[in-house]
Amino acid sequence: METCTISLKVNGRTYKLQVPPGETLLRTLRDRLGLTGTKEGCGSGECGACMVILDGKAINSCLVLAPDCDGAEILTVEGLAPDEEELHPLQESFINHGAVQCGFCTPGMLMSAKSFLDKNPRPSREEIKTALSGNLCRCSGYKKIVDAVEAVSTNSSFHLSQGESNIGHSFVRRDAIEHVRGISKFGADISRPGMVFGKILRSDYAHARIKHIDTSAAQNLEGVLAVVTGQDVQQGYFGVDIKDRLVFATDKVRYRGDAVAAVAAVTEEIVKKALRLIKVDYEPLPAVFDAVEASEPRAPIIHENLQDYEISFDTQRKGNVCTIANVKLGDLDKGFADSDVVLEDTFSTQIQHQASIEGHAALAEVDARGRIKVWSTTQKPFAMRRYLSQSLRIPISSIRVEATKIGGGFGGKLELIAEPYAVVLARKCRRPVKIVYTRDEEFLATTPRHKTLFWVKSGIKKDGTLLARHVKLVYDTGAYSGNGPTTVTLSCQLAAGVYRIPNLFIEGYCVYTNKMNCGSMRGPSGPQTTFAIESHTDNLARKIGMDPLDFRLKNLLEKGEKTGVGQTLVDVDYKKVVNAAADAIGWRNIKKQENVGKGMACIFWLSGGWATSATVKVNEDGTVSLVTGAVDMGTGYLYTSVPQIVAEELGLNAEDINLVQGDTDRTTYDHGIGGSRGTFTIGRVAQMAASKVREELCKEAAERLGVFPGDLATRDGWIFLKADPEKMVSFAEISYDRHIKKGGPIFASIQFLPEMDEIDPKRVKGLSFTAFKGNTLGCHAAIVKVNPDTGHVEIKRYVAAHDIGRAINPMAAEGQIEGGVSMGIGFALSENLLIGDKGEVLNPNFSDYKLLTSLDVPETEPVIVEVPAAYGPFGAKGLGEPTMAPPAAVIGNAIFDATGIRMRHTPMTPESVFGQISKRLRK
Amino acid sequence: MSSSSKSAYFQPRTLKEASDLLIAHPRSAKLVAGGTDLVPALSRDHARRVKVISLKKLEELKGIRQHGKNEVFIGAMTTHSELAESPLINKYFPALSKASSLVGSPSIRNLGTIGGNIANASPSADTAPPLLAYGAKAIIRGQAGEKQVRIEHFFTGPSAHILAKGEILRGFVLTYQEESFSDYEKLGIRKAMEIAIASACVSIGLRDGIYCQHIRIALGAVAPTPIRAVKAEKIVEGKTITPDLIRKAARVAMQETRPISDIRASADYRKKMVASLVERLVLHASSTRAESSLKG
Ligand SMILES: Cc1cc2nc3c(=O)[nH]c(=O)nc-3n(C[C@H](O)[C@H](O)[C@H](O)COP(=O)(O)OP(=O)(O)OC[C@H]3O[C@@H](n4cnc5c(N)ncnc54)[C@H](O)[C@@H]3O)c2cc1C
Ligand code: FES
Ligand code: FES
């Protein structure tokens, strides 16, 4: 290949380079200059993660050919700060305003903002949003990013609230500085000496028998180091609840995207070429893409051996239905018979993708003893190790998984994705192998949110009292069960609602189809169930002419009452949350205007449990290290709330706590991050460990001061006598002496498996799990305006109230709410992963899979409600997931209020809204 | 390996040199302007060995210049940002400025050029309807010299145009008309990063604020190429504008389209949106004019 000689001035330094004609500036910066602060999120100009400033202008470095930049001056995020000590004002502002969540979009955002402010130093807020409109952020909802840029433009300084306590103030995340400097290492940023590249060959058919695979031409291609198929490796079935999946399809492929082979080679170009040389002989089988069709008796069977698969719970399985879950209470027939009004509705929802701006990446390396180290973007390093062991029949002791920084997880990084392929390739070629998913692979072959169908029927009295409800819900789980059974279980619990319903029957079905395997996206089942149930709730209220707010207040469950599955509600105040949302939006005073409407919806959620552990150790200087097997997928809980909790428990400053995390060799077990368990569960175990350490510190101090431990208090790393604070001794002094002189270091390790809450076993059948503790409620309300000429829905105001128990870090909590709402609005209005009639994904890119931009997301007004949970650390509850559940129902209800049109399918695109409006006009 | 199977990068300094390169590598040569359409296509299509011919250094393709009394030249390498910010374009061809300001995102506008937008020949290209509505001519340079072609005749289908071997778009000539109003609107789902589902541009000359002297209506994303709605124009031209007339023109414009159904929208929706866009634009034009003539 011919190369071009170019000279680039990057961040003030001049480089002379040889590059191939077609190389993009992005590749040159990342691969040749090692400037990995510039990120790749799509490679096609659609996400803005690769933004740099080229001769003064912000541009997408993935769209520019390096030879075209000969002689140009380039500024990347690494060159933004004046030096090692000082940050650029934008960097400082991003940190202080909580504008950094996972940090993956941050470098690109900073570069867009910098070039914009250079040109327009005093912009309006709207102009800032326009300037950032080519930079997608999946975490933040943009509000705090716009705040950060605005603050720099108005030169206003920002003071974080500081208090006596570590709890309840907005301690900034300690890793944010790495993100704004562009030095944090995400999955694709890691490289190893001698590393080569891997890629997966995927099925071209949605359903087919594999007759033969010929890899010889690929094997013989120069530069190819390993070609692997299912024939070459020992495989074991794996899966969350039902073990129905193999790493490589061997007999059959079940969706367009199923892996049939993998290749490692010295360059990415050769890998791609080798994949094209592999010949797979398929015998196509009839495929089915619709869950209802798939449930019918004559549908093509996707898993012939369904009954033989290992399963972790008791349920019925038949045909393509892999889970049937029921919740039953009271006498349904009588309930309907006693009702004054009975109403039926159907609703459906689309496939939504986590669409983290960072895709999946894995790097595997085998050492001289054959032990494997895997760097992965996983949310669950320990589970990943177990899954790898199960699926590839490798002893757990031979695997070490270390989580990298995660550029957004949202439940998309919970399962085996790229990891096993990197492992088998690395084992075969004995070189480190890295696999980075492209954006289209993300959309083709990872684990998005389930498409669903709901049929809901309820009976009420004239005064609005709910008497009976019957629900059938169908989840299309794709080619493998994945997290389907658990999602259906959750959906059955949510469908019982937040209301008192004495007679109930909920039937949940999880069905295989020939599509990608659906997993657990943020708040699995939440948006779907809430859209159906809360839209239906409004229909019920409207039917009897009742204000939907009053209808809700009348039927809301109260503390001490039981949910549908029989969980007793403790530490909740649902009405308080609903009233908080209604007050914030001024529900009762909103004036009726043409095509303008208001809507609200509620979601109850649980705070996740599962096993975890933590070690808190005191260093010689009195600082503390927290060692946990958990990771942070971008929400920041591990860099904010958890250290704040530990600090508060110990009587130390949160700044003095260091973290060791997410490594199966160096930390102890954690189940993995998801299920809103970060602050609630990891925070709790860390608090327990800290409490033990404090006890020991106090015991030691009591001896020295000649008092009882109970007489002592701690603060800022000092232990002092409550009655006489002059009498004190420092953590440092005690710890140093314990390390060097007597007794050995002070530390505590705690393991913790939160118990599940009790439910009524008579009410449920076929559920994969019962109920977690830490019940919470969210209630959102909005005002929208519908354009009847085009069907566009404009959100004028959006309020989101959440009971989070205790706001350990209010800014982080707001960030979760704003980000969750923006994802929920995407689900409501624009995001839709489309499958064609051959099972192909029709829109595997950010151009047509539409994440909302900074110009589209309204400025959510978060309302924090605190009803402390006795079980959570300092009363805190989980928050991450429920934030994204209500928007579709809220917006649907508001559209109804504005126009009288009931939207029954998500996303409610302009075309679909317009279609409904036209239909009504024709009537 | 023969040299033609290798990839290469060229940065010609003259149009002649660029055209010769296109002739020398008929199959593998690709012109790159801003690269926003081409570079992603190159990386998708790895097998092909391409000869990249960069247009970066061609001075003849640059600049926005007044040309005689009421003509403006726009170089093919003019970026969308430059068009959106140019005082000259804003003053005389505001719908083109607006269309450019609605392309993709700020960084896409910093890179993408009007030449690339037109040569890429997407039915949804945002600058095409304004060029049609302003009666622009494309300046085409080839081996045989230079010619000017009316933009209506440039597009031949989706991603297809009349450029022959060795031909390069040098720029566009637009003629300014006195006393005219023009505007562009684009429909999509998002407010940025959006390929139009339907778009429309209207340029209209009014006398006394209500009498239509001349009008051009151009539509994007509703036919295999960007089109003019000539029949709809005829309905309004030479008449006093009334709401009824506008509605009729909008309906006729709708009938002139041949949209497809795809993942972005159905043909039916696109059609109806054309009617709504045309109605809104013409109504807006007449009311704006009526207002200003009242004031003036
Ligand atoms: C994220 C994203 C969003 C986008 N959004 C929009 C949008 O909203 N609206 C819209 O209209 N477009 C959009 N586009 C498409 C694209 O940006 C525009 O079409 C742009 O104007 C193309 O110009 P370019 O200079 O980048 O063309 P290039 O990619 O360099 O070239 C495009 C094609 O034109 C040819 N070509 C370029 N210049 C000449 C010339 N002078 N003579 C002959 N042939 C030439 C090239 O060979 C190539 O085939 C978007 C693209 C991306 C990546
Ligand atoms: S990687 Fe360049 S825009 Fe997404
Ligand atoms: S912080 Fe923006 S994508 Fe995660």
* Cα–Cα separations (whole angstroms), residue A758 to A566, A570, A605: 8, 12, 16
We find that the CATH architecture of domain B59-175 is: 2-Layer Sandwich (3.30)
Phi (first) and psi of residue A179, to 5 degrees: -65, -45
Q: Which residues, in sequence order, are CB contacts of A172 under 8 Å at separation 6+?
A: A95, A96, A98, A160, A640, A811
Most A CBs within 10 A among B45, B189, B269, hence the mutation to make, goes to B189
Collapsing DSSP to helix, strand or coil, A731 comes out as helix
- Are the beta carbons of A63 and B195 separated by less than 8 Å? no
What residues of A are in contact with residue B197 (Cβ under 8 Å)? 911
Contact yes or no for A176/A654 (Cβ under 8 A): no
Last-in-domain residue among A179, A209, A229: A179
**What is the C-alpha to C-alpha distance for residues A262 and B80, in angstroms, rounded to an integer?**
42
Q: Minimal Cα distance from B54: which residue of A?
A: A68
What residues of B are in contact with residue A850 (Cβ under 8 Å)? 189-190
> Are A912 and A766 in a shared domain?
yes
B69 at the A interface (CB within 8 A)? Answer: no
> Are A430 and A466 in a shared domain?
no
Per-residue confidence (pLDDT) for residue A104, from 0 to 100:
98
For chain B (length 296 residues), average pLDDT per consecutive 10? 66 96 94 97 72 96 91 97 97 97 98 98 98 98 96 97 97 88 96 97 90 96 98 96 95 97 97 97 79 49
Q: Which of A281-295, A456-470, A603-617, A737-751 has the lowest mean pLDDT?
A: A603-617
Q: How far is B283 from chain A (nearest CA, A)?
A: 14
- Are the beta carbons of B193 and A133 separated by less than 8 Å? yes
CATH number of residue A135's parent domain? 1.10.150.120
Collapsing DSSP to helix, strand or coil, A472 comes out as strand
Half-sphere exposure for A168 (CA within 13 Å, toward CB): 10
Put simply, the chain A residues between 30 and 69 with a CB less than 8 A from any chain B CB are 43-46, 48, 51, 57-60, 62-65, 67-68
The two structure tokens encoding residue A42 = 């799509």
Per-residue confidence (pLDDT) for residue B48, from 0 to 100:
60
Contact yes or no for B182/B202 (Cβ under 8 A): yes
Residue A123 lies in a domain: yes
**Average pLDDT, integer, range A614-631:** 96
Per-residue confidence (pLDDT) for residue B2, from 0 to 100:
37
A588 at the B interface (CB within 8 A)? Answer: no
> Are A732 and A747 in a shared domain?
yes
The span from the first CA to the last CA of chain A, in angstroms, equals 66
Most A CBs within 10 A among B25, B30, B103, B105, hence the mutation to make, goes to B105
> Are A79 and A212 in a shared domain?
no
Ligand 2 close to Cβ of residue A43 (< 6 A): yes
- Are the beta carbons of A272 and B46 separated by less than 8 Å? yes
Best probe residue, ligand 3, of A95, A97, A138, A180 (max atoms within 8 Å of C-beta): A138
The helix, strand and coil proportions of chain B, stated in percent and rounded to the nearest 5, come to: 40, 25, 35
Contact yes or no for A631/A406 (Cβ under 8 A): yes
Containing structural domain, residue A704: 612-752
Q: Which of B9, B107, B197 lies closest to A60 in CB terms?
A: B107
Q: Calculate ∠ Cα B215-B216-B219, nearest 5°.
A: 145
Q: Which of A1, A59, A855 lies closest to B110 in CB terms?
A: A59
Categorise residue A791: left if φ over 0, alpha if ψ from -120 to 50, beta otherwise: left
Residue A608 CB neighbours (<10 A): 23
Could you identify the residue written with the tokens 């993956």? Answer: A104
- Are the beta carbons of A65 and B43 separated by less than 8 Å? no
Per-residue confidence (pLDDT) for residue B292, from 0 to 100:
55
Residue A430 lies in a domain: yes
Closest CA to A352 of A241, A437, A447: A447
**Average pLDDT, integer, range A483-504:** 94
**What is the C-alpha to C-alpha distance for residues A825 and A499, in angstroms, rounded to an integer?**
24
Q: Quick check: A402 pLDDT over 70?
A: yes
Handedness of CA A433, A436, A440, A442 (dihedral sign): positive
* The dihedral formed by the CA atoms of A854, A860, A866 and A869, expressed in degrees to the nearest 10: -50
Q: Minimal Cα distance from A44: which residue of B?
A: B40
Residue A558 CB neighbours (<10 A): 11
Categorise residue B201: left if φ over 0, alpha if ψ from -120 to 50, beta otherwise: beta
B88 at the A interface (CB within 8 A)? Answer: no
Per-residue confidence (pLDDT) for residue B6, from 0 to 100:
76
Looking at residue A911, its amino acid is: E
- Are the beta carbons of B190 and A2 separated by less than 8 Å? no
Last-in-domain residue among A179, A214, A243: A179
User: CATH assignment of B2-54?
Assistant: 3.30.43
Q: Quick check: A392 pLDDT over 90?
A: yes
Can you count the helices (H) and strands (E) in chain A?
A: 23, 32
- Are the beta carbons of B192 and A853 separated by less than 8 Å? yes
> Are A427 and A483 in a shared domain?
no
Element (H, E) at A538: helix A526-543
The two structure tokens encoding residue A238 = 């794996």
Give the start-to-end residue ranges of the domains of chain B. 2-54, 59-175, 187-295
> Are A589 and A667 in a shared domain?
no
Contact yes or no for A554/A916 (Cβ under 8 A): no
Handedness of CA A661, A665, A667, A668 (dihedral sign): positive
> Are A600 and A616 in a shared domain?
no
Handedness of CA B274, B115, B189, A836 (dihedral sign): positive
Q: Quick check: A391 pLDDT over 80?
A: yes
Collapsing DSSP to helix, strand or coil, A375 comes out as strand
Best probe residue, ligand 3, of A105, A145, A149, A377 (max atoms within 8 Å of C-beta): A105
Phi (first) and psi of residue B28, to 5 degrees: -100, -5
Per-residue confidence (pLDDT) for residue A407, from 0 to 100:
97
Q: Per the structure, how many domains does chain A have?
A: 4
> Are A617 and A687 in a shared domain?
yes
Per-residue confidence (pLDDT) for residue B45, from 0 to 100:
66
B39 at the A interface (CB within 8 A)? Answer: yes
> Are A105 and A211 in a shared domain?
no
**A29 CA to centre of ligand 3 in angstroms:** 21
Ligand 1 pocket, CB under 6 A: A 44-46; B 30-38, 55, 61, 76, 103-104, 108, 111-113, 115-117, 119-120, 125-126, 163, 168-169, 193-195
- Are the beta carbons of A24 and B191 separated by less than 8 Å? no
Could you identify the residue written with the tokens 């289209």? Answer: A440
Q: Quick check: A431 pLDDT over 70?
A: yes
> Are A273 and A420 in a shared domain?
yes
Best probe residue, ligand 2, of A25, A31, A62 (max atoms within 8 Å of C-beta): A62
B144 at the A interface (CB within 8 A)? Answer: no
The DSSP symbol for A567 reads P
Nearest CA to ligand 2 atom 3: A45
**What is the C-alpha to C-alpha distance for residues A868 and B198, in angstroms, rounded to an integer?**
52
What residues of A are in contact with residue B278 (Cβ under 8 Å)? none
Strands A433-436 and A196-202, how do they pair?
parallel
Put simply, the chain A residues between 901 and 920 with a CB less than 8 A from any chain B CB are 909-911, 914-915, 918
Contact yes or no for A604/A773 (Cβ under 8 A): no
Closest CA to A191 of A371, A77, A362: A362
Phi (first) and psi of residue A239, to 5 degrees: 165, 160
> Are A214 and A133 in a shared domain?
no
pLDDT in tens, A358-373: 999 999 999 999 999 9
**Average pLDDT, integer, range A630-654:** 92
- Are the beta carbons of B39 and A847 separated by less than 8 Å? no
Nearest CA to ligand 3 atom 3: A137
Cis, peptide link before residue A907, omega less than 30° from 0: yes
Strands A196-202 and A57-60, how do they pair?
unpaired
**What is the C-alpha to C-alpha distance for residues A656 and B263, in angstroms, rounded to an integer?**
53
Contact yes or no for A771/A756 (Cβ under 8 A): yes
pLDDT in tens, A124-178: 999 999 999 999 999 999 999 999 999 999 988 766 556 678 888 888 888 999 9
Residue A317 lies in a domain: no
Nearest CA to ligand 1 atom 47: B31
> Are A60 and A129 in a shared domain?
yes
Put simply, the chain A residues between 263 and 302 with a CB less than 8 A from any chain B CB are 269, 272-273, 276
pLDDT in tens, A711-762: 999 999 999 999 999 999 999 999 999 999 999 999 999 999 988 888 999 9
Ligand 2 close to Cβ of residue A60 (< 6 A): yes
Residue A306 lies in a domain: no
**Average pLDDT, integer, range A276-282:** 98
Best probe residue, ligand 2, of A25, A29, A30, A42 (max atoms within 8 Å of C-beta): A42
Last-in-domain residue among A712, A735, A752: A752
Rounded to 10 deg, the angle between the A381-392 and A419-429 helix axes is 60
CATH number 3.30.390.50 given to B187-295: yes
The two structure tokens encoding residue A248 = 């490589």
Per-residue confidence (pLDDT) for residue B50, from 0 to 100:
87
- Which DSSP string corresponds to A278-313? -EEEEEE------HHHHHSTTSPPS-TTGGGS-BSS
